[in-house]
Chains A and B, each alone.
Chain A
């Protein structure tokens, strides 16, 4: 048992590291430029060409966020690629050189030529439309075919640097790279600052976690005991009309899409459009009282949380009751139930004291898996009901491409999922001795 425990715990760390590497790679593959988004949010647009203050501002932000370091510890790239493309501070030069180098042009000759060409921008004696076409398409043929003498000369110089074949090269960057900085700052506990308002990410995630956690806890608190009650009653009185109606109702509620039910509830119960007598719930949204304590905030907003809790609880309840009643039904065909009946035990005794505990065993795995499920189900509910929880935070930061917040939420969810599956496995092995010794 102890060896199983240790082996499972040791497997967690490579898993989380792999997930973090994958997430980092995705964030670097995103086509949007991070620094430009930050500048846009702060009001310095890049709609005009880079001249004057914006360029220096860009370089300042770029250097402060340390984007000029290489991406990872090592890179395996063709020999004609530059060792570290991020070293070039000007984004226009960097993007154009990147696209040209990818068409098999020698990098250490291309970069000075592109630097010279970009300095020609704004010069009235050069054909600017050809220049812009070149920057848009990154095709040296545009320069070669141009009428302008200087551009034509540059185009010929570029075409001479074309490489026919290349070998791979392995470049070792050492510990000075973006991934290492990011990962070590995570281990120290700081996820950076959010791009939207500059506040630390941990603070925003903590505030959002409060609402999501309270929603999830309420759902679990209401759904699980009710599910156990309903499932045992359905099996205790299988001929009762009332419980037949309830089980059919749950069967039909199981497949309702959450977002549709939430939208219908919001439409019908919170607005005046269908008659004032149906406007029994307050409008959506949460009022934040920043100076009160956490519990007080939930208490003041509790009347707004009723509808979301009803939404998620109904969905979970349907799912859980169906699984549990099927599980109890499967248990009732086992031999030990026949033994119990032949001993003279009453039906209530057999089902509640013998069949139900055995049927609850796979329920435990569901219970510990319900935390990640609640987190993932909260995205749509929180977006509709306008609750500032983790799901809505994730959705907003994805649409704005705020990767610090996204990573924090992702890491948190991955950790919670892995830990809950671990706990589920241990509980299962502890309760069921057959698994322990296999």
Chain B
């Protein structure tokens, strides 16, 4: 168990090898600056002492073009289905398709660069949302547990109709009134929790069994395997934006975060320093954020690294099947999907696959390294 106080020290102690550090910096750089690396527009345009960024060629005459002068969706009519070693009909060596083109003439290298942005975006948000949901559920089931929140009988009797009314009106109204009812729901939940007592039962009060509820929820989530759940959620409802797939994958992943974190919190809760912090009057929320959470988050980091790799893998599998991300978005999996019908163009399937493989391998080995460094110390 170690504290997260010093993050750069933590990274140094993890002992990442050189190729791992280069890979992660290259991946982050290419992902964030994908629009400047592969674009048919000019990156910087200087004309008449005015500077513009990402200006199309039709508007501006002199400027700095991108290193790879194709964007992911740009169709090159003269070079369809050419490989990296074949002869290409291009204007200059700057316009060469280094990794070949797809069946419609889309450059593969530009597709890889834009696909890495998609992978970064989806991976980051998936991990973030699954962490948020997972930490919340682990808190209420691990820290508060079955005998945590005691609410008096009268409060329970009053809060049941209140909750029912607010949920009902949130569901069946529209617009501004719906948001105000949602606010009312959050405020009423907050007031109910505030009116209860933590860990100290009072006369005529019952404890809400959070642990039982969350465990039943975990069991329900465990019943259907991943691909089937994702196919139902995404194959049926149309997806116009990326957040459908982000919410779906993070909805799949939060049970594993909760399981790890809950086991760790249960272990840490029995320590003596928690008892002594309580006895000097420290508030429960401060105990959780200052003592329990930093000590129990280490296995969650491992789970985060594996979840990032998993998100990239699942997203490419889904775009290989043709569902998930919007149709015109180029990702690694959709490039491999193109290769299904053109068996002789090996470059369409080979390069995206290698990139997916290397990225997943990197994040898996990162997770293993964090796991080893936690266990070793």
Query: Chain A residues in contact with chain B, CB under 8 A?
Result: 11, 15-16, 18-19, 22-23, 26, 30-32, 76-78, 102-103, 166, 168, 252, 254-260, 263-264, 266-268, 271, 273-274, 372-373, 375-377, 379-380, 383-384, 391, 394-395, 398-399, 401, 406, 409-410, 413-414, 417-418, 421
Q: Taking the complex as formed, is B199 at the interface, i.e. its CB lies under 8 A from any CB of chain A?
A: no
Q: In the complex, what residues of A have CB within 8 A of residue B349's CB?
A: 260, 263-264, 267
- Chain A residues contacting B237 (CB-CB under 8 Å) are 30-31
B189 at interface, CB cutoff 8 A: no
Contact size range, B: 35 or more
- 1/0 per residue, CB under 8 A from A, across B335-377: the answer is 0100110011010011011001100110010000000000000
User: In the complex the two chains form, is A394's CB within 8 Å of B228's CB?
Assistant: yes
Residue B47 at the chain A interface, CB threshold 8 Å? no
**B236 touches which of A16, A375, A398 (Cβ 8 Å):** A398
Using a CB–CB distance below 8 Å, which chain B residues touch chain A? Answer: 165, 168, 172, 174, 219-220, 222-228, 231-232, 235-238, 309, 313, 316-317, 320-321, 333, 336, 339-340, 343-344, 346, 349-350, 352-353, 356-357, 360-361, 364
* A375 contacts across to B, CB distance below 8 A: 225
Q: How far is the CA of A361 from the CA of B225 in the complex (A)?
A: 23
Are A413 and B339 in contact, with the CB atoms below 8 A?
Answer: no
Per the bound structure, the CA–CA distance linking A32 and B238 in Å amounts to: 11
Given A30-B236, A376-B227, A414-B223, verify A267-B339 contact (CB < 8 Å). yes
Report the number of A-B residue pairs with Cβ-Cβ less than 8 Å: 117
Interface of B is mostly: helix
> What chain B residues lie within 8 Å of A373 (beta carbons)?
225
Q: A259-B320, A380-B320 are in contact. Are A19 and B227 (CB under 8 A)?
A: no
Q: How far apart are the CA atoms of A22 and B361 in the complex, in Å?
A: 36
Q: List 11 A-B contacts (CB under 8 A).
A: A103-B174, A255-B364, A257-B357, A259-B316, A263-B353, A373-B225, A375-B225, A380-B317, A391-B227, A394-B228, A398-B232
The answer to whether B225 touches A413, judged by C-beta atoms less than 8 angstroms apart, is yes
B357 A256 Cβ-Cβ under 8 A? yes
Across-interface contacts of B353 in A (CB, < 8 A): 257, 260, 263-264
Query: Closest residue of chain B to A254, judged by CB?
Result: B364
Nearest B-chain residue to A261, judged by Cβ: B353
A255 vs B227: C-alpha distance when bound (angstroms)? 17
Beyond the given A264-B349, A380-B227, A417-B224, could you list 8 further A-B residue pairs with CB under 8 A, ordered by the A residue number?
Answer: A30-B236, A78-B172, A168-B165, A252-B361, A254-B364, A257-B353, A257-B356, A267-B343
Q: What residue in chain B is nearest A103 (Cβ atoms)?
A: B174
Contacts of B343 in A (CB 8 A): 266-267, 271, 273
> In whole angstroms, what is the CA distance A30 to B232 when docked?
10
In contact, A379 and B227 (Cβ under 8 angstroms): yes
Judged by DSSP, the binding face of A is helix
Query: Which of chain B's residues have a CB closer than 8 A to the CB of A401?
Result: 236
Inter-chain contacts of A22 with B (CB < 8 A): 220
State whether A410 touches B228 (Cβ < 8 A). Answer: yes
Q: Which residue of A lies closest to B234 (CB)?
A: A398
| Contact A418 to B320, CB < 8 A, known contacts A26-B236, A398-B236 | no
- B223→A255 contact, CB < 8 A: no
Instruction: Report Cα–Cα, A407/B232, bound state, in Å.
Output: 10
Using A383-B321, A394-B228, A398-B231 as known contacts, say yes or no to A255 and B357 having CB atoms under 8 A apart. Answer: yes
A245 to B321, CA, bound (A): 34
Q: Are A255 and B350 in contact (CB under 8 A)?
A: no
Residues of A contacting B357 with CB < 8 Å? Answer: 255-257, 260
Chain A, Cβ-Cβ closest to B357 = A256
Whether A376 pairs with B228 at a CB distance below 8 angstroms is yes
Chain A residues lying within 8 Å of B172, measured Cβ to Cβ, are 77-78, 166
Interchain residue pairs A-B with the least CB separation, the first 7: A376-B225, A260-B353, A273-B344, A398-B235, A255-B361, A255-B360, A376-B227
Q: A257-B353, A257-B360, A263-B340 are in contact. Are A19 and B225 (CB under 8 A)?
A: no
Could you tell me the distance between the alpha carbons of A332 and B350 in the complex, rounded to whole angstroms? 41
Query: In the complex, what residue of chain A is closest to B360 when comparing beta carbons?
Result: A255
Cβ–Cβ contact A259 & B336, under 8 A: yes
User: Which one of B219, B309, B321 contacts A255 once the chains associate, using CB atoms below 8 Å?
Assistant: B309
B20 to chain A, nearest CB (A): 14
